[in-house]
């Protein structure tokens, strides 16, 4: 069908040229002011516009419209992707800030726990040191008491020995122990006063 229309347009153009020249062998002047020539020129122009509109401009405009739609869709998609990316970035930034705050809280809690543990260890060590000091004092007291008793026993024996030499009389074991006990009691009483 397109070939038929093209053939018809070509025929009209040829016939209009022939009519415009007047059928004579003379040269046609396009500016001669002939009304028939102007009508035919307009008819041919409109036919060319119609043919071009149907077969050339339609597909060209359709392709341009498709291209425009594609560009519009691409821009809308890019805008949507950018908005989504900004939303994800804001979400990730929020999560990162929350993670930082949580990490800071955990570090602070760890420091507080370490401080509490340090104080507890110090208190336990002080308590244990106090217990060891008290035990050492008791052991020193017991050792001192034992040493004093041994010293009193030795002093008593020496005193009895010296006294027996002085009186030249030997005391029996029972008298000897009684004198030692009395001496210890006297020494203990004098030490308390």
Higher pLDDT, residue 21 or 123: 123
Domain assignment present for 17: no
pTM of full prediction above 0.75: no
Domain assignment present for 160: yes
Domain that holds residue 160: 142-192
Higher pLDDT, residue 91 or 27: 91
Domain assignment present for 147: yes
Per the listing, tokens 């007291």 go with 141
Taking only Cα atoms into account, the Rg of the chain, rounded to an integer number of angstroms, comes to 66
Per the listing, tokens 């594609």 go with 70
**50 vs 42: CA distance, rounded Å:** 12
Q: Tell me: the pLDDT tens digits for 37-90? A: 778 888 888 888 888 877 887 788 888 899 999 999 999 999 999 999 999 999
Residue 92 has a pLDDT of 93
Q: Tell me: the pLDDT tens digits for 141-150? A: 888 888 888 8
Per the listing, tokens 């104080």 go with 119
H/E stretch holding 91 reads helix 58-167
Structural domains in the chain (count): 1
């Amino acid at each position: 069908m397109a070939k038929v229309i093209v053939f018809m347009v070509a025929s009209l153009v040829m016939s209009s040229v022939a009519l415009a020249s007047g059928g004579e062998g003379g040269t046609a002047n396009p500016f001669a002011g002939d009304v028939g020539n102007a009508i035919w020129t307009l008819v041919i122009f409109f036919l060319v516009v119609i043919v071009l509109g149907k077969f050339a401009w339609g597909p060209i405009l359709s392709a341009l419209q498709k291209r425009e739609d594609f560009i519009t869709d691409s821009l809308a998609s890019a805008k949507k992707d950018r908005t989504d990316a900004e939303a994800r970035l804001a979400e990730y930034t929020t999560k990162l800030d929350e993670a930082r705050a949580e990490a800071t809280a955990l570090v602070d809690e760890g420091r507080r726990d370490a401080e509490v543990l340090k104080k507890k260890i110090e208190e336990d060590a002080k308590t244990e040191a106090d217990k060891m000091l008290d035990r050492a004092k008791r052991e020193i007291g017991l050792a001192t008491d034992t040493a004093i008793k041994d010293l009193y026993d030795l002093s008593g024996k020496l005193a009895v020995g010296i006294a027996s030499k002085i009186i030249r009389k030997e005391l029996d074991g029972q008298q000897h122990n009684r004198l030692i006990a009395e001496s210890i009691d006297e020494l203990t009483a004098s030490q308390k006063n």
